[in-house]
Chains A and B, each alone.
Chain A
Amino acid sequence: MSAQTLYDKIWSAHAVGKRADGQTMLYIDLQLLHEVTSPQAFAGLELAGRNLWRVGANLATPDHNVPTDNRELGLDGIVDAVAKQQVVTLDENCRRYGITQFDILDRRQGIVHVVGPEQGATQPGMTIVCGDSHTSTHGAFAALAQGIGTSDVEHVMATQCLVQSKAKNMRVQVDGALRDGVTAKDLILSIIGAIGTAGATGHTIEYLGSGITDLSMEGRMTLCNMSIEGGARAGLVAVDDKTLEYLHGRPLAPRGEPWDLAHEYWVTLRSEAQALFDSNFRIDATSLIPQVTWGTSPELVIGIDSATPNPDRAGDEAEAQSLQLALDYMGLVADQPMVEITLDRIFIGSCTNARIEDLRGAASVVKGRKVARGIKQALVVPGSGLVKAQAEAEGLADVFLEAGFEWRAAGCSMCLAMNPDRLQPGERCASTSNRNFEGRQGHRGRTHLVSPMMAAAAAVQGYFVDVRGML
Chain B
Amino acid sequence: MKSFKRVTGIVAPLDRLNVDTDQIIPKQFLKSIERTGFGDNLFDAWRFGDEGAIGKTPNERRINPDFVLNQPRYQDAGILLTRGNFGCGSSREHAVWSLLEFGFRCVIAPSFADIFLSNCFKNGLLPIVLKEKTIDRLFEMIDATPGFEISVDLPAQEVRLPDGERFEFAIDPFKKRTLLEGLDDIGLTMDHREEIAAFEAKHRKRMPWVFTS
Please determine whether B114 and A159 come into contact, CB atoms closer than 8 angstroms: no
Q: How many residues of A contact B (CB 8 A)?
A: 85
Write the nearest CB–CB distance from B36 to chain A, whole angstroms. Answer: 10
Stretch binding the partner chain, chosen from A149-157, A336-344, A458-466: A149-157
Please determine whether A258 and B27 come into contact, CB atoms closer than 8 angstroms: no
Stretch binding the partner chain, chosen from A35-43, A68-76, A206-214, A215-223: A35-43
Write the nearest CB–CB distance from B115 to chain A, whole angstroms. Answer: 6
Question: What does DSSP make chain B's interface, helix, strand, loop or mixed?
Answer: helix
Q: Does A421 contact B (CB under 8 A)?
A: no
With both beta carbons as reference points, the residue of chain A lying nearest to B1 in the complex is identified as A151
Please determine whether B22 and A198 come into contact, CB atoms closer than 8 angstroms: no
Write the nearest CB–CB distance from A134 to chain B, whole angstroms. Answer: 9
Most chain B beta carbons < 10 A, residue from A151, A325, A440: A151
Please determine whether A37 and B88 come into contact, CB atoms closer than 8 angstroms: no
Most chain A beta carbons < 10 A, residue from B26, B45, B51, B177: B26
Please determine whether B174 and A155 come into contact, CB atoms closer than 8 angstroms: no
Please determine whether B199 and A17 come into contact, CB atoms closer than 8 angstroms: yes
Write the nearest CB–CB distance from B21 to chain A, whole angstroms. Answer: 9
With both beta carbons as reference points, the residue of chain A lying nearest to B22 in the complex is identified as A437
Question: Beyond A36-B31, A297-B18, is A231–B210 a contact (Cβ under 8 Å)?
Answer: no
Question: Beyond A43-B33, A131-B91, is A198–B18 a contact (Cβ under 8 Å)?
Answer: yes
Q: Does B63 contact A (CB under 8 A)?
A: no
Write the nearest CB–CB distance from A288 to chain B, whole angstroms. Answer: 24
Q: Does B66 contact A (CB under 8 A)?
A: no
Q: Does A438 contact B (CB under 8 A)?
A: yes
Please determine whether A19 and B192 come into contact, CB atoms closer than 8 angstroms: yes
Please determine whether A149 and B199 come into contact, CB atoms closer than 8 angstroms: no
Please determine whether B209 and A258 come into contact, CB atoms closer than 8 angstroms: yes
CA distance A194 to B94 in the complex (A): 30
Q: Which residues of chain B are near A132, meaning CB under 8 Å?
A: 90-91
Question: Beyond A159-B193, A443-B45, is A252–B213 a contact (Cβ under 8 Å)?
Answer: yes
Taken residue by residue from 6 to 25, chain A's Cβ proximity to chain B (1 for < 8 Å, 0 otherwise) reads as: 00000001101101111101
Please determine whether A155 and B27 come into contact, CB atoms closer than 8 angstroms: no
Q: Does A396 contact B (CB under 8 A)?
A: no
Stretch binding the partner chain, chosen from A79-87, A169-177, A361-369, A387-395: A79-87
Please determine whether B210 and A29 come into contact, CB atoms closer than 8 angstroms: yes
Please determine whether A149 and B196 come into contact, CB atoms closer than 8 angstroms: no
Please determine whether A37 and B91 come into contact, CB atoms closer than 8 angstroms: yes
> What are 9 A-B pairs at a CB distance below 8 A?
A21-B178, A22-B173, A82-B32, A131-B93, A158-B189, A159-B193, A228-B115, A262-B207, A435-B90
- Given contacts A262-B207, A437-B20, 4 further A-B pairs with CB under 8 A are A123-B209, A149-B118, A159-B189, A443-B45
Interface positions of B (Cβ within 8 A of A): 16-18, 20, 22-23, 26-28, 30-35, 45, 51, 54, 84-85, 88-94, 96, 111, 113-115, 118-119, 122-123, 172-175, 177-178, 185-186, 188-190, 192-193, 195-196, 199-200, 203, 206-213
